[in-house]
Chain A
Amino acid sequence: MSLETTMNSDTILKVEHLSMKFGGLMAINDFSFEAKRGEITALIGPNGAGKTTVFNCITGFYKPTMGMIVLNQKAGKQYLLERLPDFEITKHAKVARTFQNIRLFSGLTVLENLLVAQHNKLMVASGFTVLGLLGFPTYRKAAKEAIELAKHWLEKADLIDRADDPAGDLSYGAQRRLEIARAMCTGPELLCLDEPAAGLNPRESAALNTLLRSIRADTGTSLLLIEHDMSVVMEISDHVVVLEYGQKISDGTPDHVKNDPKVIAAYLGVEDDEVEDVISEVESLEGGVN
């Protein structure tokens, strides 16, 4: 395999030979995949497969033991994410993320949560606080714009009525939506969602699907998501990558992955020598349906 960094311009993220070791445990072992610009890529796998570890490597919370993560921006700029500190990945490389266990600023209001997300933009507008402190109009204008952007995302996430309530007061589903809206306020090119549908009821996850689709359609943001809820994964993703024991076992369209015997084996837990049986079983089932 060649370590070529030149990428097709429609590839936004390229992960190559990623490995992550925790002591003696190989959490991720030589994992490579690509995410296309403007697509929704899903990363699935059984519990403990290493999905969140991959996410943490991409967003800089872990430094990978080996491998390369290249982000290709629309304007043509490339970033090697494994070399950037975590906050610069969001600030410069424009990758935003949400968390599996929701991490909102619960004592700040919903609106303030979205304003904190626009920190870097507002810092520059306020002349790194100095001009803002002296009351320069540039900051006042930027602050107004920031509130407008926040309003836009609050409407999208159906939270506009709760704008002045503390974030900790929202229901679980609303908190999930707010976390996505907050990540979008950083103006990302790639949005990484860690189990956005966890704990949502069917109606809420349908609303989530609509939100994610509209994010892609309106802003052209590419999405990378970890999900267990197959109704979300199969319905909205264009591309699915399956991970088991830190290794990629399947990669392709949702339909391809759904029928991949290795994936079925991974999820249903069969012995290696029984895989053949499963394949024939799946094939006979498909024949029956047809």
Chain B
Amino acid sequence: MTNITSRHEGAAGDLTARALREALYAGLISLGLFVLFVGLKSDQNIRNELILVPRWGLLAIFVVIAMVGRFLMIAYLQPFLASQKVVNAATGMLPDSMASRFFRLPFFIAAVVVSAVMIAAARGLPDNIAAYATIIRGLAIIYSLACLFYMFRIFITTHFTVLAVAALVLYPIVIVAIFGAQGSLKWVDNFGIQILIYVMLAWGLNIVVGLAGLLDLGYVAFYAVGAYSYALLSSTFGLSFWVLLPMAGILAAFWGMILGFPVLRLRGDYLAIVTLAFGEIIRLVLLNWAEVTNGAAGISGVAKASVFGIWSFDVSAPNNFAKAFGLPMSSAYYKIFLFYLILALALLTAFVTVRLRRMPIGRAWEALREDEIACRSLGINTVTTKLTAFAIGAMFGGFAGSFFAARQGFVSPESFVFLESAVILAIVVLGGMGSLVGIAVAAAVMVGGTEILRELEFLKHIFGPDFTPELYRMLLFGIAMVVVMVWKPRGFVGSREPTAFLHERKAVSGSFTKEGHG
């Protein structure tokens, strides 16, 4: 007995020593990583000279966080997880037991109470303490939402599509009810419309990359074609949004085929490079063909979309929406209308994609991703199959583009840089290639996440007034992406839904599907 205890103590001593050692390494690594871009800051002094401002305090905080985190992880979290595994194996409660112990009804009630108290208390507190209250409130809200998802997980997974669409339809109404017409602008426009545009773009690119397996790095070109088609044709010929929406789609599809032809023979990296160049060519043409596109200044005053020509959102128009219904003037109605419009367009994209996957053309796309030579041996014309994938993907990009122009009222080449293509592709990869639900979640996380990270003001109260949290937005975002890719290397939804079945519909594991060779 004494023997066992002493060995136990010895093991614990070893563990602490190891945790300390690992913490030291973590500290050294983070010191090396952060010393240049956190520890030193380049600045201008009063004589306009470039000087280095040391920020040793901030650097120390970063290093200490890394060290403490690593120590806790080795000394407490890892042994805890290991013992949980033993308990789970013994009780046969795998794999749900961890989650069921983490999400418990009393905890949930406590979290709801905490968030309510924090919301009520935050008003009366000084700034400094209010910042901490904000963090606790945020964590409590996230925890209670996660609890809700966990408790109703079976119901949610079985009815996900219906629930998600219903939630999106109700979203503007709920937001207006909470924040009022004017206060809803930020939530409907910056979050709702912005995310849905990316959902639609990513679903369009998903046809090319996720289904047909053709790596396209210049997708934003079709978005640009759609946006400029609408902006130019509406300002030159005065055509309405509803005429130009399909026309923008057709023009983008046409450009998709033009891109498709020369790249048919290319695969993989080569295809990616040529599509990348195509995206840049379109942008440079828009920038330099100033007689038509007005160059870098862009086209402003692009006409707004109307409710099928019945009600207009122009303030001066006699059939103005607000006047017709006797409502107070506000730009919120237009934003809410745009929200429903982009929701309808995105759902159309999803509907067509789901339908196409069950058509011979959709199956041919997926077969093309799996093995092009086998496709040809089965009599499939790979040229037309690739071209239709490019054209249909581009068409949805064109729709999204014309919507973008109508929403912004202004287009310029600035909006169609390579970064946009990269973000859209990242959404497709992060969501799981080919999966519509995964991509929608990824778009919400990527676009919504970067927007949410703008709201980091409270960190100023913790790190001091010199701290600019916006600078760390992309850093945090990058860390989040790395974490997701380590945790789910095939994206949020890695499996594939078969398009037909004989006995039962079984999802195909991601380990069998291929990414395509371009």
Contacts and interface: CB of A to CB of B under 8 A. Distances in A.
Interface stretch (B274-282, B308-316, B379-387): B379-387
A64 B359 CA distance: 36
Nearest to B377: A97
A147 B503 CA distance: 12
Contacts of B355: 132-133
Given A90-B379, A123-B361, A165-B506, A112 B374 contact: no
A14 to B, nearest CB: 22
B376 A86 contact: yes
Contacts of A139: 359
A109 B498 contact: yes
Interface in B339-370: 352, 355-356, 358-361, 363-364, 366-367, 369-370
A119 B364 contact: yes
B504 interface: yes
Contact of A96 (B360, B377, B388, B512): B377
Q: How large is the interface on A (under 10, 10 to 19, 20 to 34, 35 or more residues)?
A: 35 or more
Contacts of B381: 87, 91
A155 to B, nearest CB: 11
B207 to A, nearest CB: 13
B373 A103 contact: yes
Interface string A82-97: 0000111111000011
Contacts of B371: 103-105
A116 B503 contact: no
B367 A129 contact: no
Nearest to B372: A103
Contact of A116 (B363, B388, B504): B363
Contacts of A86: 376-377
Contact of B366 (A104, A108, A163, A165): A108
B380 A164 contact: no
B356 A109 contact: no
The A contact surface, by secondary structure, is: helix
A126 B359 contact: yes
Contacts of B502: 111, 147, 151, 154, 160, 163-164
Given A122-B360, A132-B359, A105 B374 contact: yes
A63 B512 CA distance: 33
Nearest to B361: A129
Interface in A57-78: 59, 61
Interface in B462-507: 496, 498-506
B94 interface: no
A164 B506 contact: yes
Between B370, B373, B379, the greatest number of chain A beta carbons within 10 A of the residue's beta carbon is seen for B379
Contacts of A182: 378
B501 A106 contact: no
A249 to B, nearest CB: 29
A122 B381 CA distance: 14
Contact of A108 (B370, B373, B377, B506): B370
Contact of B382 (A87, A109, A165): A87
A120 B500 contact: no
Contacts of A90: 376-379
Interface residues of B, number: 40
B512 A112 contact: no
Contact of B505 (A122, A164, A169): A164
Contacts of A109: 498, 500-501, 506, 508
A88 B500 CA distance: 26
B364 A103 contact: no
A88 B352 CA distance: 29
Contacts of A133: 352, 355-356, 359
A100 B260 CA distance: 31
Contacts of B369: 107
A208 B501 CA distance: 26
Given A59-B377, A116-B378, A105 B366 contact: yes
Given A108-B508, A112-B498, A119-B380, A164 B503 contact: yes
B354 to A, nearest CB: 11
A126 B377 contact: no
Given A91-B379, A120-B379, A107 B501 contact: no
Interface in B34-65: none
A105 B356 contact: no
A115 to B, nearest CB: 6
Given A105-B367, A107-B508, A166-B508, A117 B378 contact: yes
Given A103-B371, A108-B370, A116-B363, A164 B498 contact: yes
9 contacts: A87-B378, A87-B379, A103-B377, A108-B498, A118-B360, A143-B358, A147-B500, A154-B502, A163-B502
Interface of A: 59, 61, 86-91, 96-97, 99, 103-109, 111-112, 115-120, 122-123, 126, 129, 132-133, 139, 143, 147, 151, 154, 160, 163-169, 182-183, 186
10 tightest CB-CB pairs across the interface, nearest first? Answer: A107-B513, A90-B379, A91-B379, A105-B370, A122-B360, A168-B512, A103-B374, A163-B502, A166-B512, A116-B367
Given A61-B373, A91-B379, 6 more contacts: A108-B370, A108-B498, A116-B360, A133-B356, A160-B502, A164-B506
